[in-house]
Structure 1
């Protein structure tokens, strides 16, 4: 009678784990949102809501996983705990025609209350719009 070795048990466990299905948090499958042939270029801008603290950050020997990230808050609105901004700089606006503009927003909040509203301010500064989160 032959004894089962740890190697055979480990291989059996590994094969079992590899056979399991895993699911990501993609509740709605991705679909095409824009499908058009456009002669020209694509311009993207973006921003984030986390960054190093406002103190001077000149330590080139720290990796991102050792940086104490803080919420960025650039407005003086006491009803928000995080705000950020991004500016689109087009070199010669008369030579561009905007075909489509999309806004993608995502966040994670450690609290139990869901985020239902997002404050959005356009480039003209005409006021703040409150957008309902889908």
Structure 2
């Protein structure tokens, strides 16, 4: 039986990362805040979140280099997050979030760099809300 959208913890994730509705995503009691409260609070340490956010920031710093391969760098995040999951360091919903980010940036069409920068903002908000709710 197919999963209904309201059962999907990431139903809120923008279909178009080039034009996300930040006014819906970012505020208190917005989609990201609710996602963190329901699926990440108490289930992931802030150090683990920072590790992945720092990787995203590192990728962002390399975007203007001519030999840089954004697709390859994002693809490397998937085995890293799955390894963290296997070690019990993050919940499945975080694995799905990183996967959605990777797929959303790599979708055909649009400006990949703009999509990546918007995905970074989304992950930054996730980290901030986790920290707000006492992520350790």
Greater strand percent: which structure? 1
State TM-score, norm by structure 1: 0.29
Indicate the structure with greater helix content.
2
More RCO (CA 8 Å, sep 6+)? 2
Larger Rg over CA atoms? 1
TM-score, L = length of structure 2: 0.28
